[in-house]
Amino acid sequence: MTAKSAQRSVALSITGLSKSFAGVRAIDNLSFEVPEGRAVALIGPNGAGKTTVFNMVSGVYPVDCGTIAVNGVDVTHMPSRKRIAAGVARSFQNIRLMAHLSVLDNLLVGQHRRNASIAAMLTPYRLVPSHRWKREALQALAESGLEAYAKENVGALPYGVRKRIDLVRATLAGANVLMLDEPAAGLNPTETNALRGDLQALKARGLTLLVVEHDMHFVDSVCENVVVLNFGQKIAEGPLSTVRQDRLVREAYLGVEEEA
Amino acid sequence: MVSQQIVNGLMLGSIYMLVAVAFTLAIGVLNFLNFSIPGLFMVGGMAAYGGVKLGLHWSLAFAGALALAALISLAVERLAYRPMQGGDPEAPLVSSLGFLVLLENLMLIRYGSDQQAFPPLLADMNLRIGDLVIGMAQLASLALSIALVVWLSWFLSATNSGRRIRTVAESGETAVLLGVNMSSLAPRLFVGSAMLAATAGILFAVNYQQVSPFMGEGVGFKGVAAMIVGGMGSIWGAVLGGLLIGMIEVLSISVIGANVVNITVYGLLLLILILRPQGLIGRPPSREKL
Amino acid sequence: MSGYLTGVLVTLSFNIIAAYAVYLPIAAGQLNLGIAGFMAIGAYAAAFLTNEMSWPIWAAVLVSAGLAGSVGLMIGLPVLRTHGIYLAMATFALGQVISAVFLNLEVVGGAAGYPVAAYAPPNIVFAAAAGVVGFMLLLSTTRFALYLTAVKSDPTVADLLGVSVRGIQAAAFTLGAMVAGFGGALYAHHYSFIEAQHFNVMLSVFPVLYVLFGGTQTVLGPLVGALFFTLAPEWLRASAEWRYALFALFIILFMAARPQGLVTMSLFRLFGRRKPQVTT
Ligand SMILES: Nc1ncnc2c1ncn2[C@@H]1O[C@H](COP(=O)(O)OP(=O)(O)OP(=O)(O)O)[C@@H](O)[C@H]1O
Ligand SMILES: [Mg+2]
């Protein structure tokens, strides 16, 4: 418990993390922290290992070595299912909404963490007109201006809309740390602006964000700090404006996103 | 006498083995649990019987039965496999079972539901080694089954077509990227797997001298069991599983009694699935990527 | 009601119960090809309780359903470690083993079969089927039903959202086994005679066909599938010996044209948004 109170201000802390796939190092001795209430971007070229970090934090992949702590609790060996209760939720690079469910139903599944009792599972809530759960999910949709899609099947929706719904679902578990994997990828400028608004609203609510993103304008407008990965190693860390001057970063990004 | 039982077990096992290989081709390469295979097994036996009854020479009757099974299998590919690509993984089960029911009922209409006696081909030619009696038909069938499997495994490892098939088995997507033409490969695999099943049906008819419209069910389901016990998608797994299941069936009938066959055979299958789902010589399934 | 009609409706009732026994695990992405085994457990246990212990039918039926469920849970836990085709095969093997065990169990008649003294009249059977349908409709309005679809649709993400995938699957499997046992127990008391050979592969497989034909996306699919599979062959009676062949041909052509089954979500949408599914 002393460890917990000492680290209270750190929402997510990664120490000495490594992971190999078939002998190839995807993540190499990576350490960084995300302070409570801040937004940090995890950037790097394609294949740098960003999604792999998310997968280890959320428990999809076991770590080879290193530790992961969420809100001061070591989750390194916690089953993936329990990590959302420890306070970390995520979205997916390749949108993983449940295709046969409506938008609203996807969001209701997202609420599970806060309604996990047997009694909640067996409540015939669909018989109740405007049940609390439904109102809450619709409210969250409305805050992103997406309420018109509530009854649609997710399979038929435009990419940008699905991407943003994936984000809304991640927020509904009540986790205080959100990991967003390329939330702006594939969005048109209007949608990107709306997304920026969504993320700023989340920050205003005190949530902690770890964002993987290739769009540096977007990163600049949302995140205070960036961590740069290349071949699984951290090559720079700090405010974007500083990191941008870094020689290693320039080499890693040669030809990529060098405007502005 | 135990050695006689072993010979009988091997014989039965070699039939299961062919059916198991037929299943394994469909599931290992195309990821399709093809329940029309028991029907094609039955078509092999029944159509051969029908041909012989019409007065055809046995070789013509057999060839006709194989051709018929191949044609039906092409229809299965068209109607049960192709339209289901990308849908629910269970959906093809319905139509392939539909084919089983269809074939059984067509044969029922033509020949009635009773067991029919299949005329003996190599009647009283038996090989005697001490007390051991081995029918020539048994011996010929065993040799043929083994030759077929050996040829198939050579074909898969040494020819270009075989390598293409194995690429598809590894990963359908990669295979398409490498330029494998699935819409011409799939029908050929269906024909191949139908030929194996129908051959097994003919061998069954010749050896046990009886056929019926429902002969495919028992053998077909044991063929599935054999495939999984050995290891899904592996030809030699199907061989091992087939022989093992045949042996266990014959031995448990002679040692305990006919009523326990399903307990021992399917008990073994259940045990394998719980302890070693990849089968005796199969590889474990890989994990998904996010 | 004429004897013929009653007979058809009784068959329909048993088919509906069997279809929902299969639907529960399928809705969570697990194909149970051994439902006949759980029917056998329900049938033999209930028959034993009324025959040898003089229990009233209702108590025997309920306890046997519970027993089939518990066996489902006990055997299901190790079996549910497997996935996809392996799971389907494991349940298939399980069904075969269970009915073969009854074939060898002399206390309940062994291979000779087991007569059942107490009788459940058609009305009881109808009421039971209606009860199962009502229960399923109610269940479909809960989070549990939602999680069944979620677990089927994307188990990895369901797990990351905190849903216990194995818990949901085990619950669906157990509930399905219970419903199957319930149907089997009633079957024994309606037809007054059971034999192990009745609980064979085809008895397991046909309800799967009803469900996949009707469609797995909605709770009404199994009902529609069971209705169709029971009534259509009756309509085809005129062409007596051809009827199953024609029927099989129809199924093949139908599934080729509509692989997702008859009743789907989008079908609901087509027939207006009046469905109380989502109320704002
Ligand atoms: N399950 C896996 N098996 C094998 N290799 C993997 C697996 N997951 C990731 N990798 C490898 O690890 C490396 C890092 O992949 P990762 O997906 O984390 O990159 P990324 O930084 O998210 O890239 P992108 O910007 O393209 O999303 C890549 O070389 C990838 O091929
Ligand atoms: Mg990535």
Residues 6+ apart with CB under 8 A from A16: A29, A30, A31, A65, A66, A67
Residue among C98, C102, C107 nearest C196 (CA):
C102
Q: Do domains A1-87+177-191+210-260 and A89-174 have the same CATH topology?
A: yes
The protein residue whose alpha carbon is closest to atom 31 in ligand 1 is A47
Taking the C-alpha atoms of residue C156 and residue C163, their distance in angstroms, rounded to an integer, is: 10
Q: What is the DSSP string of B190-242?
A: HHHHHHHHHHHHHHHHHHH-EE-TTHHHHHHHHHHHHHHHH-TT-HHHHHHHH
Pocket perturbation via mutation, ligand 1, pick of A17, A20, A21, A24 by most ligand atoms within 8 A of CB: A21
Residue whose token pair is 């229809």? B75
- B1: helix, coil or strand? coil
Please tell me the predicted confidence (pLDDT) of residue C254. Answer: 86
Residue B286 banded pLDDT, cuts 50, 70, 90: low
Chain B partners within 8 Å of C201 (Cβ): 217, 221
Task: State the sign of the Cα–Cα–Cα–Cα dihedral B241, B244, B247, B249.
Answer: negative
In the stretch 107-146 of chain A, residues with CB closer than 8 A to chain C read: 108-110, 112-113, 115-116, 120-127, 129-130, 134, 138
Domains of chain B: 2-120+129-275 (1.10.3470)
The protein residue whose alpha carbon is closest to atom 9 in ligand 1 is A52
Any idea where the domains of chain C sit in the sequence?
3-213
DSSP code of residue A101: S
- Chain B CA closest to residue C250: B98
Contacts 24+ apart (CB under 8 A), A75-80: A80/C159, A80/C160
B123 or C147: whose pLDDT is higher?
Answer: C147
Task: State the sign of the Cα–Cα–Cα–Cα dihedral A72, A74, A75, A78.
Answer: negative
At residue B283, does pLDDT exceed 90? no
Compute the distance from residue A49 Cα to the ligand 2 centre, in Å: 7
Whole-prediction pTM? 0.88
Please tell me the predicted confidence (pLDDT) of residue B257. Answer: 86
- Contact status of A78 with chain C (Cβ, < 8 Å): no
**Inter-chain CB proximity C278 and A98 less than 8 Å:** no
- Chain C CA closest to residue B86: C259
Taking the C-alpha atoms of residue C258 and residue C216, their distance in angstroms, rounded to an integer, is: 13
Residue B124 banded pLDDT, cuts 50, 70, 90: low
Please write the tens of the pLDDT for every residue from B75-113: 999 998 888 776 666 777 788 889 999 999 999 999 988
At residue A6, does pLDDT exceed 80? no
Ligand 1: which atom is nearest the Cα of residue B289? 1
Chain A partners within 8 Å of B290 (Cβ): 51, 55, 60, 92-94, 96
Task: State the sign of the Cα–Cα–Cα–Cα dihedral C269, C272, C276, C278.
Answer: positive
| CATH class assigned to A89-174 | alpha beta
At residue A79, does pLDDT exceed 70? yes
At the fourth CATH level, the homologous superfamily of domain A1-87+177-191+210-260 is P-loop containing nucleotide triphosphate hydrolases (3.40.50.300)
> For residue B6, how many other CB atoms are within 10 A of its CB?
15
Q: Give the rounded percent of residues in chain B with a pLDDT score beyond 90.
A: 47
DSSP code of residue A26: E
Which ligand ends up closest to the CA of A52?
1
Ranking A29-33, B33-37, C168-172, C268-272 by mean pLDDT, the lowest is: C268-272
Please tell me the predicted confidence (pLDDT) of residue A87. Answer: 95
**Which segments of chain C have a pLDDT < 50?**
272-280
Of the CA atoms within 13 Å of residue B46, those in its CB half-sphere come to: 26
**Angle, alpha carbons B250-B256-B257 (nearest 5°):** 70
The distance between the two most distant Cα atoms of chain A, rounded to a whole number of Å, is: 61
Please write the tens of the pLDDT for every residue from B140-175: 888 999 999 999 989 988 888 888 888 887 777 777
ipTM for this prediction? 0.90
Q: Is the distance from the beta carbon of residue A47 to the nearest atom of ligand 1 less than 6 Å?
A: yes
| A33 within 8 A of A224, measured Cβ to Cβ | no
Residue A250 banded pLDDT, cuts 50, 70, 90: confident
At residue B46, does pLDDT exceed 90? yes
For residue B227, list its beta bridge partners: none
Please tell me the predicted confidence (pLDDT) of residue A50. Answer: 95
Taking the C-alpha atoms of residue C13 and residue C130, their distance in angstroms, rounded to an integer, is: 8
Q: Which helix (H) or strand (E) holds B132?
A: strand B132-135
Please write the tens of the pLDDT for every residue from A189-219: 999 999 999 999 999 999 999 999 999 999 9
| C67 within 8 A of C181, measured Cβ to Cβ | yes
| A160 within 8 A of A98, measured Cβ to Cβ | no
Chain C partners within 8 Å of B288 (Cβ): 156
Interface size B-C, in CB pairs within 8 Å, comes to 138
At residue A253, does pLDDT exceed 80? no
Residues 6+ apart with CB under 8 A from B182: B168, B172, B175, B176
- The four Cα atoms A218, A223, A227, A228 give a dihedral, to 10 degrees, of 10
Any idea where the domains of chain A sit in the sequence?
1-87+177-191+210-260, 89-174
Q: Which helix (H) or strand (E) holds A34?
A: strand A24-35
> For residue C234, how many other CB atoms are within 10 A of its CB?
14
**Quick one: how far is CA C32 from the chain centroid?**
9
Strands C114-115 and C193-194: antiparallel
Chain B partners within 8 Å of A93 (Cβ): 290
Residue whose token pair is 């697990």? C30
The protein residue whose alpha carbon is closest to atom 28 in ligand 1 is A47
Give me B108's structure tokens: 């029922």
